[in-house]
A and B are shown apart, each in its own frame.
Chain A
């Protein structure tokens, strides 16, 4: 966290973020930290920070999961088995309320690609923060049960490489914080908005 704060301060100081150069006093930035602990029990924190000095104004943490194993070089593109997402800073590429992939739907944040640090040198792609819900933000847990769109247990924290939070307890609060602190939707490209360690 402190590293993110210092990075943001440095970014602001160097004007590397375009918005920073025109940022009015009191401008804020919304960021995420993902602390990898285990595949099903890690921590995702969302921050609202003062843009100019990185001071944390608000924060909230949620249980989160990532990957089926802890090998950040293990890609799921051939076999549906992937490790947790690689460490480092990520751009945020977008936020959507009604994303409609065949595996991932609903409220999602899209992350940049990231190359892993290991023997395969794999470029991991298709990285999201998401949960298990339908594109209309519903739970498919009833008669039309679809496991990947129904949050029904801790096994749902597993992913093929993305960051996942509970649709029952946390996704709504995470999204509400995002909406009130950032509010951005659709495609964009924001530097250093996610830090994974």
Chain B
């Protein structure tokens, strides 16, 4: 029988993780081991095993961590009231995000209001335009009290401000409906129990990325178009950060955002560093300047979300994982960790995260190739040794996903 992990221990872990996050800004180059100053690029050697890594993870309805400290890891897990799932966000953002004091974890859930066979078309199943198919609901798990409460229906995609305010999207209507875009507003509560305040004035295709200090960085999608990266300086105060761009990461101090522009077939890909305060560009870097020594050519695409630790950012690319060195006024490629994505994954890597304060260990996950039921696995990699250990495959719905918040800075 599964035993609940004592809340105090998990809370301590979350606190430690929070402390790690808070210390990120102070993690200058000097804290990285000497070898990290000149890390090699090359192919990652991947072996299957039972890796352990620092961090907090969610798999289905199980919240667990830290790994590596106890042989009885499953006994340390806490059960969530519902499986973490966010089909409106997918791998583009965290499915669960902790508060900075480590006390609470906000996680996205989903309830289907009718069965859908996604191999078939809607009409074949009697699904008409506008039929409600499912409802997202953000839930709040208290790791100490082990309580679990739901926000209002239609909510997903949380990000925590340093003072405990929480931002999320609230659908209007709450249900995801066939043949209709899922429109919603950005909502902020100054605390989980405070009244929600609309920060957008008209429902749109909004997605939360994270807080940049007291400002909120969001994406706004458009049918048949590229998303815009916008900044909300407060309720109803939206402005453009980068038009027609993708969002990769926010700096730990919340002052800058790393965005991407262009894609194969749509012009050259450029990584751009934007100052959140005024949307000005601090630096740019062409992806074609990256040299993958294995592929013998530059990667064709870069995607998010990345992980930003000190002055390093790790992001997925078309040939594996790229580590960038980013200062307040410069971007440079430091290391290409080559992965044969077609052989090791179904085609891309999800949510790479620095998980220790040295920046040595990177954890990511992926869906695995092969027919039949979809399977996923976690990869724990030592980027200095160019080695990874892959967990045993699990059914995709129980993919181990990191619990993190993309926000930076303090209010």
Q: How many Å from the CB of A139 to the closest CB on chain B?
A: 15
A117 within 8 A of B: yes
Interface string of A118-136 (1 = CB under 8 A from B): 1111110110100010000
Q: How far is the CA of A77 from the CA of B263 in the complex (A)?
A: 13
Known interface pairs A119-B367, A121-B87; A77-B92 also in contact (CB < 8 Å)? yes
Q: Quick one: which of B85, B90, B119, B302 has the most chain A CB within 10 A?
A: B90
Is there an interface contact between B221 and A77, defined as CB atoms closer than 8 Å?
yes
How far, in angstroms, from A189 to B93 measured CA to CA in the complex?
Answer: 32
Cβ contact of A80, chosen from B118, B120, B245, cutoff 8 A: B245
Min Cβ gap B244→A in Å is 7
Instruction: Provide the residues of chain A in CB contact with B374, threshold 8 Å.
Output: 117-119
Interface positions of B from 333 to 381, Cβ below 8 Å from A: 341-342, 345-348, 350, 365-367, 374, 376
Contact A112 B179 (CB under 8 A): yes
Bound-complex Cα distance A188 to B146 (A): 49
- Tell yes or no: B246 within 8 A of A by CB: yes
Which among A17, A90, A119 has the highest number of chain B CB atoms within 10 Å?
Answer: A119
**In the complex the two chains form, is A78's CB within 8 Å of B209's CB?**
yes
Choose one: A68, A119, A147; the contact of B301 (CB below 8 Å): A68
Instruction: Contact check, B124 vs A191: say whether CB atoms are below 8 A apart.
Output: yes
Establish whether residues B90 and A75, one from each chain, have CB atoms under 8 Å apart when the complex forms: yes
B224→A81 contact, CB < 8 A: no
Given the interface pairs A119-B367, A126-B224, the reply to whether A112 lies near B263 with Cβ below 8 Å is no
Please indicate which of the listed interface residues B123, B245, B318 has the most CB atoms of chain A within 10 Å of its own CB. Answer: B123
Measured CB to CB, the closest approach of chain B to A166, in angstroms, equals: 12
Do A68 and B263 have beta carbons less than 8 Å apart?
A: yes
- Say yes or no: A189-B123 contact (C-beta < 8 A), given A78-B246, A119-B399, A158-B265: yes
Decide if B91 is an interface residue (CB 8 Å cutoff): yes
- Take A68-B301, A102-B222, A126-B223 as given contacts and tell me if A74 and B347 are in contact as well, using a CB distance cutoff of 8 Å: yes
- Check B346–A70 contact: CB distance below 8 A: yes
Contact among A90, A104, A158 for B264, CB-based, below 8 A? A158
Cα of A38 to Cα of B182 in the assembled complex, Å:
30
When A70-B346, A93-B179, A192-B121 are in contact, do A79 and B90 touch as well, CB less than 8 Å? no
Give Cα distance in the complex from A193 to B365, angstroms.
34
Chain A residues near B396: list those with CB within 8 A.
Answer: 117-119, 121
Q: Contact check, B121 vs A118: say whether CB atoms are below 8 A apart.
A: no
A103 in contact (CB, < 8 A): yes
Q: Point out the residues of chain A lying under 8 angstroms from B176, CB to CB.
A: 123
Q: In angstroms, how far is the closest chain B Cβ from the Cβ of A108?
A: 8
Contacting pair A71 B346 (CB below 8 A): yes
Besides A75-B91, A125-B182, 17 new A-B residue pairs in contact (Cβ under 8 A), listed by A number: A16-B124, A70-B342, A77-B205, A78-B93, A80-B261, A83-B348, A102-B226, A112-B122, A115-B87, A117-B374, A118-B376, A119-B365, A119-B397, A122-B90, A126-B221, A126-B224, A147-B266
Q: Taking beta carbons and an 8 Å cutoff, which residues of B are in contact with A?
A: 85-93, 110, 116, 118-124, 128-129, 176, 178-179, 181-182, 205, 207, 209, 219, 221-227, 244-248, 260-267, 300-305, 318, 341-342, 345-348, 350, 365-367, 374, 376, 396-397, 399, 401
Q: Which residues of A contact B (CB under 8 A)?
A: 11, 16-17, 67-81, 83, 86-91, 93, 99-105, 108, 112-123, 125-126, 128, 132, 147-148, 155-160, 164, 189-193
